[in-house]
Amino acid sequence: MEDEFRQRVRDWMAAHLTGEFAALAGTGGPGREHEHVELRARWERVLGEAGWIGLGWPAPHGGGASIAEQVAFHEEYARAGGPGRLSHIGEHLLAPTLVAHGTDAQRRRFLPPIAAATELWCQGYSEPEAGSDLANVQTRAELAGGRWHVTGQKVWTSLAHVADWCFVLARTTPGSTRKEGLSYLLVPMDQPGVTVRPIVQLTGTSEFNEVFFDDAVTDADLVVGAPGDGWRIATSTLAHERGVATLGQQMQFARELDAVVERARATGAFADPVVADRIADAWAGLQGLRHHALRTLRNDDPDPAAASVAKLLWAGWHQRLGELAMAVEGAGATLVDAAPYDLTDAQRLFLFTRADTIYGGADEIQRNIVASHVLGSR
């Protein structure tokens, strides 16, 4: 059955990543999120029409696909060169959170447009003083006149410039500190009280943004869980962040490694035993990432620290791959053309992966999480 499903995905991708969508193959990945945004949005809607969005959501909300089928979809999507996903945050972060913690009305309102890719989402967690230390959130919200009034700033908000909605972690209990008094609000982006400012990255592109809420509003019933229970809901969302889609991410890693190997042959760098050893180490590390992900996904009693272990593993691995890509290119890898500084694939990979050990929870925070679960709080 899994082989049949995998072949169905493969055939569908071959039939649909053609025509106007052929230009999307291999685009929109890390450091390239600016590419073909409007065309990728149309591609998302084609995916939705075919039922590929929400594949892993439980029935009756989604496709109810098995873990093996979800793995097959993400691997075949990446193998075919499917473009970077614009609906990822809604599909893989918010939707499972609503299935687990939302009201029936919230699920009826938001799951269908996520599945159809007619509404895109961003995540309002990190702030200038609350990055990896998420419990230090200072954005506040007050319930008045039947609506939540939100004021504050979020930062590193991926895809905020194209999102229709944002799930926002805000402090709703005056005087509360740390994990207490937070609420998980669903806030529309298209309103006068929301300002989005792109942040230019080392790669010269702007995949993430800073978002300012200045008395932005949302309806009173658009709080997921009870008011003040936002920390529990927010951590539930984070648990979904490193789910089955990581297998597709690893297929993208494999393509990047293949490109490095091809360049090593072309430049003669493979003849250097040190470079050859680093390539072998990268290949072995990638196999380890895959087996760890599969073991975690198929564990009926999941280790709460497994997601942090996975983040530590792939972030360091991917960063080392960027360094290897530059080593394979040699001294010329340090040169760029004049403005606008069009980067090579190796340069883009190297520069973008500098952030891998920071975003999504810095390595230091991930190690603290692992230690607290393994050793207990001390």
| pTM over cut 0.85 | yes
Instruction: Decide if 171 contacts 182 (C-beta within 8 A).
Output: yes
pLDDT (tens digit, 9 = 90+) per residue, 135-151? Answer: 889 999 999 999 999 99
Structure tokens at 269: 């760098």
pLDDT for 242: 59
What mean pLDDT is reported for the chain? 90
Is residue 378 pLDDT above 70, yes or no?
A: no
Name the range with the highest mean pLDDT among 204-208, 217-221, 346-350: 217-221
| Closest among 42, 81, 348 to 205, alpha carbons compared | 348
Is residue 222 pLDDT above 70, yes or no?
A: yes
Average confidence (pLDDT) over 163-181: 94
Question: Which string of b and e fits 192-212 if b means at least 16 CB within 10 Å?
Answer: ebbebeeeebebbbebbbbbb
Average confidence (pLDDT) over 122-130: 90
pLDDT (tens digit, 9 = 90+) per residue, 273-291? Answer: 999 999 999 999 999 988 8
Of the chain, the percentage scoring pLDDT greater than 70 comes to 95
Q: How far apart are CA 219 and CA 184, in angstroms?
A: 13
Under the banding of pLDDT at 50, 70 and 90, the label for residue 31 is confident
Average confidence (pLDDT) over 74-88: 91
SS3 335: coil
pLDDT (tens digit, 9 = 90+) per residue, 228-263? Answer: 999 999 988 877 765 666 777 888 888 899 999 999
Q: Can 241 be counted among the known catalytic residues?
A: yes
Q: How far apart are CA 140 and CA 148, in angstroms?
A: 10
Q: How far apart are CA 172 and CA 148, in angstroms?
A: 9
Q: Which of 241, 262, 323, 329 is catalytic?
A: 241
Average confidence (pLDDT) over 210-228: 97
